[in-house]
């Protein structure tokens, strides 16, 4: 964000960011004041929010609303956040997935189903936090580069909040994801390039234009914290305890790192018992820079040109990739990838076992879960959570060739009997 907004940011009201006290560099620990900053002035490392929480109790949280604001004490948002118009995302279902578990040989399996958020992906969580920051920093425009779901969430949240939105997407994006943004904003910009090109363009615009809050660029530290609520909810819905294993899709890697951060915070605050848990990352083979580095045993992530049907995960140069490697290795997890055919099979498998229609990101995650069991990387005897981050109606084309009516018949009993379906 440019100088004009920085100046205004100094007029930020007291308590604008709740219990957040500073921005802290993930690489060198250098601290800067809360504001529209995202890179460390010392080493250019990514900044993240640092807090002084004080006491936070289960009772306080349980008395809150059935959305992410029940965790507002743990987020960089003001204590009156519920008063400003927002999409009220979160507190989605955690479903016991016995049928899928039986199919995969996992004794104790849960699906965290984030496809039921207001715009049908987990992105409503991060956008709600970014919107709060944009408001408190007096941004004029709410914007993002996106692989699709983020654009939907930004466009909708901006409409509800009455703030101008401009969203940028790769022009080859699935049509439903384009419509799901364009219906909320007259400023959807389709860019001829892949996500990494769109992201670069957004950074350039953020440097040129006054007062633009790009949710995942210049207010990224605030935005990213929204993903922590997935971790808080899973723990609370399990009865205030952590699962043994969790499988999470990886594009930029932000979500995975924040679910881990959430678990660590819950332990530090005494809200759950400290215990080991293993974190697994899921990628599609056609865009698997993190899983390639994981398997090669190296720390550096080599950017790739994405080529996969899992377009929502198609980030070839993932900002949080190195942190994903650290967490997955450090917790005894892994990062794995699957082919596009396996992604399609994963979508159908989840649908037919649990009645949940997921998009390609979820197909990737379910297929990776299956592969992790088959290869012995995941312990099928332990309690496992898999996150479904988006809805299948947005990526219909992925499975429209593999699922179809079993028969097309005349409206007669004889015709039906002839199908053998009776």
Ligand X SMILES: Cc1ncc(COP(=O)(O)O)c(C=O)c1O
| Beta-strand runs (E) in 26-163 | 31-32, 47-51, 94-96, 109-113, 141-145
Contacts (CB under 6 A) with ligand X, residues 148-207: 149-150
Q: In the chain, how long is the greatest CA-to-CA distance?
A: 78
Q: Which stretch binds ligand X (CB under 6 A): 84-92, 230-238, 251-259, 266-274?
A: 251-259
Q: Which is nearer to ligand X, 165 or 254 (CB)?
A: 254
Q: Is residue 284 near ligand X by the rule CB under 6 A?
A: no
Q: Is residue 42 near Zn ion by the rule CB under 5 A?
A: yes
Binding mask 304-343 for ligand X (x = CB under 6 A): --------xx------------------------------
Q: Which is nearer to ligand X, 252 or 353 (CB)?
A: 252
Label residue 77 left, alpha or beta by phi (over 0 means left) and psi (-120 to 50 means alpha).
beta
Q: Which is nearer to ligand X, 104 or 154 (CB)?
A: 154
* DSSP result, 33-51: -SSS--B-TTT-PBEEEEE
- Which option in ligand X, Zn ion, none does residue 389 bind, with CB closer than 5 to 8 A by kind? ligand X
Q: At what angle do helices 360-374 and 340-354 cross, to 10 degrees?
A: 90
- Of residues 161, 333, 316, the one with CA closest to residue 260: 333
Q: Is residue 254 near ligand X by the rule CB under 6 A?
A: yes
Q: Which is nearer to Zn ion, 45 or 193 (CB)?
A: 45
Q: Is residue 28 near Zn ion by the rule CB under 5 A?
A: yes
Candidate list 2, 22, 30, 211; residue touching Zn ion; CB under 5 A: 30
Q: Which is nearer to Zn ion, 34 or 351 (CB)?
A: 34
**CA 235, CA 262: separation in Å to the nearest integer?**
9
**CA 333, CA 327: separation in Å to the nearest integer?**
8
Candidate list 121, 218, 317, 384; residue touching ligand X; CB under 6 A: 121
Please give the structure tokens belonging to residue 31: 């601290």
- Which option in Zn ion, ligand X, none does residue 27 bind, with CB closer than 5 to 8 A by kind? Zn ion
Gyration radius from the chain CA atoms: 21
Say how many residues touch ligand X, by CB under 6 A. Answer: 18
Q: Is residue 41 near Zn ion by the rule CB under 5 A?
A: no
Q: Is residue 229 near ligand X by the rule CB under 6 A?
A: no
Q: Tell me if 250 sits within 8 A of 270, measured CB to CB.
A: no
Q: Is residue 358 near ligand X by the rule CB under 6 A?
A: no
* DSSP result, 265-289: HHHHTTSS-----EEEEEEETTB-H
- Of residues 333, 334, 335, the one with CA closest to residue 277: 333
SS3 82: helix
Q: Which is nearer to ligand X, 12 or 185 (CB)?
A: 185
Candidate list 250, 335, 351, 356; residue touching ligand X; CB under 6 A: 250
Q: Which stretch binds Zn ion (CB under 5 A): 24-32, 66-74, 262-270, 311-319?
A: 24-32
Q: Where are the alpha helices (H) located in 137-217, listed in sequence order?
A: 149-161, 175-182, 195-208
Q: What residues line the site for Zn ion (CB under 5 A)?
A: 25, 27-28, 30, 40, 42-43, 45
- Contact positions toward ligand X, by CB under 6 A? 121, 123, 147, 149-150, 249-255, 312-313, 359, 361, 389-390
């Amino acid at each position: 964000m440019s100088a004009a907004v920085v100046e205004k940011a100094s007029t930020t009201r007291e308590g604008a960011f709740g219990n957040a006290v500073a921005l802290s560099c993930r690489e060198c620990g250098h601290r800067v004041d809360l504001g529209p900053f995202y890179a460390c002035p010392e080493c250019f490392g990514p900044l993240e929010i640092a807090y002084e929480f004080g006491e936070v109790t289960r009772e306080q949280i349980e008395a809150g609303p059935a959305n992410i604001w029940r965790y507002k004490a743990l987020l960089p948002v003001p204590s009156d956040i519920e008063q400003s118009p927002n999409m009220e995302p979160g507190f989605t279902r955690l479903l016991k997935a016995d049928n899928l578990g039986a199919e995969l040989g996992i004794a104790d399996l849960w699906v965290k189903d984030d496809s039921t958020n207001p715009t049908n992906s987990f992105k409503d969580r991060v956008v709600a936090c970014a919107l709060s920051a944009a408001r408190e920093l007096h941004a004029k425009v709410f914007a993002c580069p996106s692989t699709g779901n983020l654009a939907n969430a930004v466009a909708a949240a901006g409409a509800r909040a009455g703030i101008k939105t401009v969203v940028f997407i790769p022009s080859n994006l699935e049509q439903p994801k384009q419509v799901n943004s364009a219906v909320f904003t007259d400023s959807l910009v389709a860019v001829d390039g892949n996500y990494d090109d769109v992201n670069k363009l957004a950074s350039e615009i953020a440097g040129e234009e006054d007062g633009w809050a790009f949710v995942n660029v210049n207010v990224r530290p605030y935005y990213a914290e929204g993903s922590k609520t997935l971790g808080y909810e899973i723990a609370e819905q399990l009865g205030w305890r952590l699962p043994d294993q969790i499988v999470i899709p990886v594009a930029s890697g932000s979500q995975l790192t924040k679910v881990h951060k959430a678990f660590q915070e819950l332990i530090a605050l005494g809200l759950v018992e400290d215990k080991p848990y293993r974190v697994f990352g899921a990628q599609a083979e056609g865009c698997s820079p993190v899983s390639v580095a994981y398997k090669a045993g190296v720390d550096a992530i080599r950017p790739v040109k994405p080529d996969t049907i899992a377009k929502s995960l198609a980030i070839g140069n993932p900002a949080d990739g190195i942190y994903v490697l650290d967490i997955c290795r450090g917790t005894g997890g892994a990062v794995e990838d699957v082919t596009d055919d396996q992604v399609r099979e994963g979508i159908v498998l989840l649908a037919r076992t649990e009645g949940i229609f997921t998009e390609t990101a979820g197909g990737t995650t379910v297929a990776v879960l299956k592969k992790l069991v088959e290869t012995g990387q995941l312990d099928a005897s332990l309690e496992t959570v898999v996150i479904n981050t988006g809805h299948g109606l947005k990526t219909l084309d992925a499975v429209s060739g593999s699922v179809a009516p079993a028969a097309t018949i005349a409206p007669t009993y004889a015709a039906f009997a002839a199908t053998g379906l009776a």
